[in-house]
Amino acid sequence: MKEFIEFIAKQLVDNPEGVVVSEKSTEDKKLVLSLKVHLDDIGKVIGKQGKTAQAMRTLLTAVAAKEGKRAILEIED
């Protein structure tokens, strides 16, 4: 799942080398993914009214559900 989010983010931004995804698991089968991008690209990842970020979260939820897990995407400044 980490690679999936990293791939999507790198396709959206102008500085793909600035994309960093970190993964953290919790005890109740939740997976928290933190996405960091270059400051100039934050708007491209979030999108107008947050629609791009919401689409990424929806795709992540579908991939996680297929594996029987829950996943949360956090976009950091």
> Domain coordinates of the chain in residue numbers?
2-76
pLDDT in tens, 28-69: 879 999 999 999 999 999 999 999 999 999 999 999 999 888
Contact 5, 35 (CB under 8 A): yes
Architecture of the domain made up of 2-76: 2-Layer Sandwich (3.30)
- Is the pLDDT at 27 greater than 80, yes or no? no
Contact 62, 55 (CB under 8 A): no
Maximum Cα interatomic distance, the chain, rounded to a whole number of Å: 36
pTM of the model: 0.88
